[in-house]
Amino acid sequence: MSLRLDALNPQQREAVTTIEGPLLLLAGAGTGKTRVITCRAAYLVEQGIPPASVLAVTFTNKAAREMSDRLAELLSRDQARLLTASTFHAFCARVLRRHIRLLGYSPGFAIAPGGYQVGLVKTILGETGLVNGPLGADGYLASISRAKSLLLHPDEIPETAAWPPALGRVYSLYQTRMRNMDQLDFDDLLMLVVDLWTRHPEVLAAHRDQYRFLEIDEYQDTNAAQLRLMTLLAGEAANLCAVGDDDQSIYGWRGADVSNILHFADHFPRARIIRLEQNYRSTNTILSVANQVIANNPDRHDKRLWSQRGQGEPVLVVCAQTDEAEAGFVADVIAERMRTHKRSYADFAILYRSNSQSRLFEERFRRLRIPYRIVGGRSFYERREILDAISFLLLAANPKDDLSLLRVIDVPPRGVGDKSIERLRELQLVTGQPAQTLIADAGFLGELPAAAAEGLRHLHGAVERFRQAAAGPGTLAAAVETYLREVGYLDGLGRMYKPREDALARLENVHEFLSSVAEYAGNPPPGGATLAGFLEAVTLQDDSDRKEDAGDGRPSVTLMTVHAAKGLEFPVVILVGVEQGMFPHRMALAERSLEEERRLFYVALTRAQEEVIITHAARRRVAGVPSVRRPSVFVEELPVELTERSGAETALKPLTREEEDRLFAEMRKQFSV
């Protein structure tokens, strides 16, 4: 064991060595919280706590992997392997695999990938006469998710304006259909474990005996279901360490409840609170600005970040005349800093409130041949061609999965038209049989046009052959590739997508997906590589598992939303579009969510190590219409003595024409393609 407490500052050391009772660790931005919670877990083992008794819960797979890797450096391999570091959803999935029979579900349940349920909700809305209501399927699905995060069952939905019309009925039908298909969604994983532990105290007692020491990362992002889950598991002993920062609670729109961290002492009356305030990332100027802005939020735990990294440069606030001038200024400031500060393109992050703001910067960077990368766009596993590939695997893994079958029943085109699909759905309602059973029924196939019947017959045969191959002794990766070829998917992409370049790009993505199957099979979990195991690993992916476009390996400017930047750091942060209605966002202003928007602004400031530049425009096109803009309220809250303010035309020392030509010639030579 290589645990060195003397390498920690006094507050970190106090947090590591406090092991009994409830502990709230208020870890400000850049204060080394990952190091602290990892050292604390190792310290528990050093004090004689069996590693199997320690459960560390995170929000992302990346954080869980990072903790496991760090623990492997502090503990023996066997000790690190016995300690559980997991996301909430992965932990709950494991609990349910063992005990879900007690709730009347099959232990062979599948976890539906995010978004798959929209088609099901559309069908339900059509059946209930709500299809033309004020909310579409996405809105109802989001409301069902919100209800589950609040631990509300269908019969507990109040008939108030806070919920869509007839939500309880839609929610009830949704749950019944999902259960009939042996499907759970992400929210079910948490809610069902709470139900399990509440209805079966003997199962809860067994888990309390197993996990006697809990660590919960990013506690400010927990919702009501997660709070209840951890409260049940902690029990009266409450040997629980919650780590988080209320000033970085920015996910209220997806169910996070900042009151969980604000009222921690109410939930755990014996709670001890330790503040980590020494920052190892930013200059004191950046921290002082961030401290002063966030102090405008009335409901928060008081804390003031400080650093030993020196005072640093003032925060630069620039007003551009137009949005196009703003993009031009940002390109110019990058070039100027590279010339005067010897910066790399990789030192710069352009942060914005909404993804739509990236366009002007992308256009300007392409024109000037400034390399850049977009972070936080559509996930690899959310791309249409990958969702189709996953659907083919899901319907083979689960004979009751109607959602996946209906998604790919005519992908690639196999002659199955809308009338054939409508007849299939009618027969389902009459017989109650799964769609996969019906497409093998000779009577049903006899009702269809010859092309549709032959297409379904071929699809069913391919699914059955793959089902047997996946359960056999051969390699899973080879079986998957053969299957996707047999159903016509690999060869059909060229017919499905135009132009040819688009089809080739999608085919490359599918080959990358096949590589992920091979990686899983090459490094199998205990019990071996199985189709069900691979699908669970894929569906439990989160934003931290995104396969980002790495470009061609050159140093590149990073463009991303502030939400996507959380947890990251950059030498120079350029925060753009800081205007009323844009940041804070107009929807947040309408919903009176200004405090969360201020926390988001605070997160943006604290990503910077050395320099912060804030820009806004006097005029901007919004939805194609020119409009006069005014600076954000957050710009007005910046301390005057720690900022330097100017218009774009005076913010930089101008380059001479000769210097400009030489600089861009050097840049093009260095980064020529």
Residues 432 and 319 placed together within one structural domain of the fold: no
Contact 109, 119 (CB under 8 A): no
Question: Which of 218, 332, 542, 611 does the annotation list as catalytic?
Answer: 218
Say whether both 534 and 419 belong to one domain.
yes
What is the tally of structural domains in the chain? 4
Instruction: Give the Å distances, CA to CA, from 524 to 87, 518, 520, 533.
Output: 19, 10, 6, 9
Q: 465-488: per-residue pLDDT in tens? A: 999 999 887 789 999 999 999 999
Q: Helix (H, G, I), strand (E, B), or coil: what is residue 316?
A: strand
Q: Please identify which of the residues 33, 70, 407, 546 carries the catalytic annotation.
A: 33
Pairing mode, strands 608-622 and 315-322: parallel
13-53 per-position pLDDT tens digit: 999 999 999 999 999 999 999 999 999 999 999 999 999 99
Q: Name the residue range of residue 555's domain.
A: 290-377+551-670
Cα separations (Å) of 210 from 141, 234, 602? Answer: 35, 11, 39
User: Which of 276, 311, 331 is a domain's end point?
Assistant: 276
Whether 383 maps to a domain, the answer reads no
The pLDDT score that the predictor gives to residue 517 is: 93
Q: Which of 481, 513, 540 is the C-terminal boundary of a domain? A: 540
Q: Tell me, what's the pLDDT at 662?
A: 54
Q: Does the residue 283 lie in any domain?
A: no
Backbone angles phi, psi at 602, to 5 degrees: -60, -40
pLDDT confidence band for 130 (50 / 70 / 90): confident
Query: What are the DSSP E strand ranges found in 484-601?
Result: 557-561, 570-575
Measure the CA–CA gap between 472 and 528, rounded to whole angstroms: 12
Q: For Cα atoms 68, 73, 77, give the angle at the middle one, nearest 5 degrees.
A: 70
pLDDT of residue 672: 44
Owner of token pair 């551009």: 320
Q: What percent of the chain has pLDDT over 70?
A: 93
Catalytic residue among 34, 175, 428, 643: 34
Note whether 565 and 535 are same-domain residues: no
The H-or-E segment that residue 193 falls in is helix 186-199
In this structure, the answer to whether residues 558 and 536 fall within a common structural domain is: no
Tokens 């083979």 -> residue: 396
For residue 230, count CB atoms less than 10 angstroms from its CB and return exposed for 0-12, middle for 13-18, buried for 19 or more: buried
What count of other Cβ atoms lies within 10 Å of the Cβ of residue 252?
A: 17
Nearest Cα neighbor of 189 from 118, 262, 111, 114 is 111
Dmax over Cα atoms in the chain, in whole Å? 82
| Claim to verify: residue 402 and residue 523 sit in the same structural domain | yes
| Annotated catalytic residue 34 | yes
Structure-block tokens of residue 211? 């996990």
Name which of 506, 522, 523, 516 is nearest 545 in CA terms: 516
- Does residue 650 carry a pLDDT above 60? no
63-72, 132-141, 276-285, 620-629 — most confident range = 276-285
Strands (DSSP E) found in 28-159: 54-58, 84-87, 110-111
Single out the catalytic residue among 217, 246, 332, 542: 217
Assign 652 a pLDDT band (cuts: 50, 70, 90).
Answer: very low
The per-residue pLDDT for range 51-86, each reduced to its tens digit, is 999 999 998 888 899 999 999 999 988 899 999 999
Whole-angstrom Cα distance, residue 612 to residue 333?
A: 12
Please tell me which residue in 228, 598, 607, 629 is annotated as part of the active site. Answer: 607
Q: Is 292 a catalytic residue?
A: no
Please classify residue 415 by burial: count the beta carbons closer than 10 Å to its beta carbon, then call 0-12 exposed, 13-18 middle and 19+ buried.
middle
- Whole-number Å distance between alpha carbons of 425 and 415: 17
On the question of pLDDT at 654 being above 50, the answer is no
Residues near 394 by beta carbon (within 8 Å), at least 6 away in sequence: 110, 401, 404, 535
**Residue 618 dihedral angles phi and psi, to the nearest 5°:** -75, -30
| Bridge partners, 130 (sequence order) | none
Contacts of 195 (CB under 8 A, 6+ apart): 103
Terminal-residue alpha carbon distance, the chain: 49
Give residue for tokens 């191959």: 469
Q: Which of 421, 420, 426 is nearest to 447 (CA)?
A: 420
Q: What are the start-end ranges of the H helices in 280-322?
A: 284-294
Let me know if 607 is a catalytic residue. yes
Co-location of 533 and 393 in the same domain:
yes
Residue that terminates a domain, selected from 517, 540, 563: 540
pLDDT beyond 70 at 552: no
Domain match, 367 and 340 both: yes
In angstroms, the CA 291 to CA 606 distance is 10
Are residue 418 and residue 473 in the same domain, yes or no? yes
pLDDT tens-digit map of 238-254: 999 999 999 999 999 88
Examine the pLDDT at 501 and tell me if it is beyond 70: yes
Q: How far is CA 151 from CA 95, 188, 189, 201, 257, in A?
A: 18, 10, 12, 18, 13
86 and 196 assigned to the same domain? yes
pLDDT of 376:
78
pLDDT band at 646 (very low <50, low <70, confident <90, very high): confident
Place of tokens 């017919």: 495
Residues 293, 638 contacting (CB under 8 angstroms):
yes
Q: Are residues 401 and 499 in the same domain?
A: yes
Asked if residue 282 is part of any domain, the answer here is no
User: Is 33 tagged catalytic?
Assistant: yes
**Domain-located, residue 50:** yes
Does residue 85 lie within any of the structural domains?
yes
235: left (phi over 0), alpha (psi -120 to 50) or beta: left
For 191-307, list the strands marked E by DSSP.
Answer: 213-216, 240-244, 272-276, 278-279, 306-307
Query: Do residue 580 and residue 664 come from a single domain?
Result: yes
Going by C-alpha positions, the residue among 541, 540, 544, 429 that lies closest to residue 184 is 540
CATH number at residue 403: 1.10.486.10
Same domain? For 176 and 50 the reply is: no
b/e per residue 617-633 (b: at least 16 CB within 10 A): bbebeeeeeeeebebbb
Is 487 a member of any domain? yes
State the CATH number of the domain containing residue 581. Answer: 3.40.50.300
In a domain, 102, yes or no: no
The two tokens of residue 547 are: 């396969």
- Is 313 an annotated catalytic residue? no
Go through 101-137 and write b for each residue having 16 or more CB atoms within 10 A of its CB, e for each that does not: eeeebeeebbbbbbebbeebbbbbbeeeebeeeebeb
| Overall average pLDDT of the 603-610 stretch | 98
What pLDDT was estimated at residue 670? 42
Backbone angles phi, psi at 653, to 5 degrees: -70, 115
Q: Which two tokens stand for residue 304?
A: 């003031």
**pLDDT for residue 583 is more than 80:** yes
Provide, rounded to the nearest whole percent, the portion of the chain with pLDDT above 90. 76
Ramachandran angles phi, psi of 110, nearest 5°? -105, 150
Over residues 98-106, the mean pLDDT reads 96
Q: CA nearest 396: which of 483, 488, 309? A: 483
For the chain, helix (H) and strand (E) counts, in that order, are 31, 18
CA distance 386 to 390: 6
- In terms of pLDDT, which residue wins out, 128 or 285? 285
503 in a domain, yes or no?
A: yes
CB atoms within 10 A of CB 74: 19
DSSP conformational letter for 651? S
Sign of the CA dihedral with 259 first, then 262, 263, and 265 last:
positive
Find the catalytic residue in 226, 248, 561, 609. Answer: 248
Give catalytic status of residue 198 as yes or no: no
- Non-local (6+) Cβ contacts of 600 within 8 A are 250, 353, 562, 563, 583
Helix (H) or strand (E) run with residue 500 in it: helix 500-522
